[in-house]
Chains A and B, each alone.
Chain A
Amino acid sequence: MRKLLSLSILLGLAMIGLTMLIAYADPFTEADLKKWNEAFRAVVKEGDSLFHSSKLGKNSVSCDMCHPNASNSHPETYPKFQKQLGKVVGLRDMINWCIQNPLEGNPLPADESKMIALEAYITYERRGVKLEPGKH
């Protein structure tokens, strides 16, 4: 009886060990890839819609009016020395600059989901272009 009990405990421990092994090995599947890509694309889509929205700022001007397909926004060159600000800034600083100036609106917090969405759309429209931080 005691033998049987210790065998069961051993088996149980082995099973826990196996489960942990599965959990930690992280062999993601095609289905996972699809799910993650869909989640990313949904955020790009939200960014696309914000980028083309007359409501992001306060004067009905939208980002795409100067940057169709997010062109001329050069996400691959950030962070870079922004000569007009006299310091090195990130893309999100320029997104906020545009919201505050041409769009006459209020800046977004850096961790706000709308900011992440705008960054996702802008960089997705620039996919494949090599990273060149600091370039002018």
Chain B
Amino acid sequence: MNTKMTRRTFLKAAGGFAAAAALPVGLVEVARGQKPGDKFTFAYISDSHITQIKGSEFVRNFDNGLKKAVLEVNFMDPQPDFVVFGGDLAQLGKKEEFEHGLEMMKDLTVPVKWVTGEHDYYLDLGKYWQEKMAPLYYSFNHKGVHFVVLNSILTDDDWMYKRWPTPEERMLQMARLDNPDGSPFMVKGEQRAWLKKDLEKIGAQTPLIVLSHSPLYKIFKPWNFWTDDAEQVQTILKPFKNVTVLHGHVHQVLYNQIGNIAFKAFMATAWPWPYPLTYSQLPNMMPVITVPMNRADPFKERDGTGWGYIQYNGGLSYTHELWENSPRVVKKDPKMNRPGDTQYQSPAKRIPPQKHY
């Protein structure tokens, strides 16, 4: 059973302009399904970086981003089947930040699938997360699609357990993106073994969606746009015909295709990050197929941030709700067999703000 409702038909039903003015976001055409193989939609919210200043004071800007995303997902009609939270709910992994973030997240009217980020992890190594949100890695099936959640932000044992005098210092060090004393992200052996075993249960034709915080490929090591054992994870995913990795961490529109695997990132609700190509001192491996999002206007606090939703209809379509820009839609280009922007992919169609330097 499919229910379709466009912005226009909804607005008519809701009584015209008064309702239109009150709505915070364009309502979206949502694909839904009831049985395996049907269409469905899920939303993606990520990288909220809720930051405690002191006591009950939190950074207003970042609170506003998460609140706006929750509100807009709740306004989706019909509702998505669930929301993926892509990691980095907190800035420094503090209980106060998690509690404040959960206060906002609890307003969501649909269930949440949690993915942990490094900002959630490196204070207590996932203790709070596992108690209140979810296991660090797990899998589930939804309407014929197999979903796997990985904790891709682990790193080597020495850095994790021995290098820093206190958990707070370890957290601060990992929280700094351009840290020369940082350490590369990894999925590590234990999870790779689990992943292999988990995938034994499903056939090669089953659509597979892997949810991780860091990209499960290599873009730019100095900022950890990188997973060190990415190739080993990609090898485990190789037998499957239809694999997608959805990730956060990079705070930007980013997509790639490596062999059988499509990779897709969404924006943060907190702030946008530059593309690695804008750092002139070091080379990067930014995917050439990505059409960058517009350069953000710092005077517009929510520019370059937002959330997204994914429609599954055999293939996947990704819509980015960029708050100060028109939405961007990326889906598989059947001719090229890789993701492409539905409006801007052709070099002739690109616009000046998409040029980053």
The yes or no verdict on A and B being binding partners is yes
Contact of A61 among B51, B222, B279 (CB under 8 A): B51
Whether A69 pairs with B281 at a CB distance below 8 angstroms is yes
CA distance A128 to B51 in the complex (A): 36
CA distance A11 to B52 in the complex (A): 75
Would you call A19 an interface residue if the criterion is a C-beta within 8 Å of the partner chain's C-beta atoms? no
CA distance A67 to B142 in the complex (A): 38
Known: A60-B59, A64-B178. 4 other contacts (CB 8 A): A60-B52, A69-B178, A71-B279, A72-B295
State whether A66 and B273 are in contact (beta carbons under 8 Å apart), knowing that A59-B53, A59-B59, A84-B299 are contacts in the complex: yes
Between A71, A74, A98, A102, the greatest number of chain B beta carbons within 10 A of the residue's beta carbon is seen for A71
State whether A126 and B280 are in contact (beta carbons under 8 Å apart), knowing that A65-B271, A69-B178 are contacts in the complex: yes
Whether B280 pairs with A64 at a CB distance below 8 angstroms is no
Between B271, B272, B295, B357, the greatest number of chain A beta carbons within 10 A of the residue's beta carbon is seen for B357
Contact of A52 among B176, B279, B280, B298 (CB under 8 A): B176
CA distance A66 to B252 in the complex (A): 12
Would you call A17 an interface residue if the criterion is a C-beta within 8 Å of the partner chain's C-beta atoms? no
Would you call A68 an interface residue if the criterion is a C-beta within 8 Å of the partner chain's C-beta atoms? yes
Would you call A93 an interface residue if the criterion is a C-beta within 8 Å of the partner chain's C-beta atoms? no
Main secondary structure of the interface of A (DSSP, over half): loop
Whether A68 pairs with B279 at a CB distance below 8 angstroms is yes
Whether B274 pairs with A84 at a CB distance below 8 angstroms is no
Whether B274 pairs with A67 at a CB distance below 8 angstroms is yes
Give the A-B contact count at a CB cut-off of 8 A: 59
CA distance A8 to B52 in the complex (A): 78
Q: Mark A48-75, 1 if CB is under 8 A from B, else 0.
A: 0000100000011100111111011010
Whether B271 pairs with A66 at a CB distance below 8 angstroms is yes
Contact of A128 among B52, B222, B280 (CB under 8 A): B280
* A97 → chain B closest CB, angstroms: 8
Whether A68 pairs with B178 at a CB distance below 8 angstroms is yes
A31: chain B residues within 8 A (beta carbon): none
CA distance A72 to B294 in the complex (A): 12
Whether A61 pairs with B59 at a CB distance below 8 angstroms is yes
Contact of A72 among B52, B61, B274 (CB under 8 A): B274
Q: Which 8 A-B pairs have the closest CB atoms?
A: A68-B178, A72-B274, A84-B299, A71-B278, A71-B279, A71-B274, A68-B177, A69-B178
Would you call A33 an interface residue if the criterion is a C-beta within 8 Å of the partner chain's C-beta atoms? no
* B57 → chain A closest CB, angstroms: 8
B222: chain A residues within 8 A (beta carbon): 69
